[in-house]
Structure 1
Amino acid sequence: MKSNLPTRKIFEGVATRPQMFRLFGRHNQRPERWQTDAGPLYNGEWFEIDATLYGDMLEILPPLWMRGPVFALREFLAGSITSIFFALRIDGKLRYFHGYCDVADPNSVETMRTAIFERESHLIRGMSREERLEHIWSSTADAYRGYAGERFPPAMQGQRTVMLWSGVNGTILKLLNDLTDDEIAAKLPVHMRHLPTIAA
């Protein structure tokens, strides 16, 4: 379940308030939720928000710290993982982002800031395969996503799954990472289906 990427974009577009809070709980269905640490799953995830949400989150509690337009929430998700909010000027436009960083690592916030800036500075809008899969996971309703259980071989158990309409075979359960390009396109919103693929 843990990503090998140090930072990863998990939602395409600017998240609304309901979407933001849903993204905060995107791993709530994980197996053994109460026995396992969620920190490694969330650490490094980021997505875009708007100026209003950025301001609202700044006003909820006094931040743990604030360095210019970057601040950390005082409440921790798990261990030393907490929410970091960024206001970044990218291509002349001020944009806002949320990410989870391990503040015990002195380089984690700067690593995420750099990753966001580099990813969002691309002149051609596109998505990597990994970003497409993360967007599908983030935007799929809880009833249609989950984790592989005993029906799957032991090596696959615990991996993320999504429900698909296969036509001939009706609704099927499939590992998220095993989706074909056509299945990915079918699960994405229409305006994202034909975005060019970029290197992760």
Structure 2
Amino acid sequence: MNPSPAIRKVFQGVATRQQMFRMFDRHTQRPNRWESDASSLYAGEWFEIAATEHDYMFEILPPLWIRGSIFAMREYLTGSVTSVFFTLRIDGVIRHFHGYCDLSDRSAVELMRVAIVDRESRPVRSMSRDERLEHIWSSTADDYRGYAGDRWPQSDRGCRTVVLYGGKEGTFLKLLDDLTDEEISAKLPVHLRHLPSAIAA
């Protein structure tokens, strides 16, 4: 599996309800899904949602806990990782976010809150290379993304792949992490292609 940084934004913009539910399990196609602990795949992922989606999730089940403007879902996704929903005032605007936190780490929720505020308080909209790749993964339909299997070199097996369009050559698979800047740009929606790069996210 691809190692991921501890806290990471996985979708640019405000997710619709359909997008939100898809991103709740971005790694559903992973190999050996039922044979290993996937906590490290999910813990630290976050994205923005609208107020209606935030309220909808609050009303589904009684929360595990509520701390001010933050609540955690009662049902765990995997291990000690569960959904945590944040309502945050950033630059004077109330916004809502979903994140996966490993509640075995007592500092995880606060670290995510700080990371979200820091990331979203930047004066210039920007995306790091990692954020671009995560957005591509989040927004690509399951039929066009997957994981490298037995036909790939041993070192690549289990790494994420996406389908690319090669013109006259047709379609082909490529490792997500190996996409060139041009290929990344082609896979992003038009409104995200020309955002400046960020050194860190």
Q: After TM superposition, which residue ranges in structure 1, 4 or more long, deviate above 3 angstroms?
A: none
Amino acid corresponding to residue 62 of structure 1 in structure 2: P
> CA 1:162–1:48 in structure 2 vs 1: closer, same or farther (change >3 Å)?
same
The residue matched to 2:114 in structure 1 has which SS? Answer: helix
| Distance in 2 (alpha carbons) for counterparts of 1:75 and 1:98 | 14
**What is the alpha-carbon distance in structure 2 between the residues aligned to residue 143 and residue 61 of structure 1?**
32
Matched, 1:83 2:71: no
- What TM-score does the superposition give when structure 2 sets the normalisation length? 0.97
1:34 deviates by 1.5
- Partners of 2:118 and 2:107 lie apart in 1 by 16
Residues 2 and 40, structure 1, Cα contact 8 Å, conserved in 2: no
Counterpart AA for 1:174? K
CA RMSD after TM alignment: 0.8
Using the TM superposition, give the Cα deviation of residue 4 of structure 1 relative to its aligned residue in structure 2, in angstroms. 3.6
How many Å apart are 1:65 and its aligned residue?
0.6
Q: In the alignment, what sits opposite 1:121? A: 121
Unmatched 5+ stretches in structure 2:
none
Distance 2:179 2:78 in 1: 31
Tell me if the contact between 2:11 and 2:135 (Cα under 8 Å) persists in the aligned partners.
yes
Structure 2: which amino acid aligns with 1:44?
A: G
**Counterpart in 2 of 1:141?**
141
Q: Is the 8 A contact 1:87 1:94 kept in 2?
A: yes
1:8 maps to which residue?
Answer: 8
2:130 aligns with 130
Query: Are residue 68 (structure 1) and residue 73 (structure 2) matched?
Result: no
Give yes or no for the alignment of 1:17 onto 2:17: yes
* Equivalent residue number for residue 43 of structure 2: 43
Deviation at 1:3, TM superposition (A): 3.2
SS at match of 1:196: coil
Tell me which amino acid in the other structure corresponds to 1:143.
D
TM-score by length of 1: 0.98
The size of the alignment, in residue pairs, is: 200
| Aligned residues of 1:15 and 1:50 also touching (Cα < 8 A) | yes
Q: Compute the displacement of 1:168 (Å).
A: 3.6
Shift in Å, 1:2: 4.3
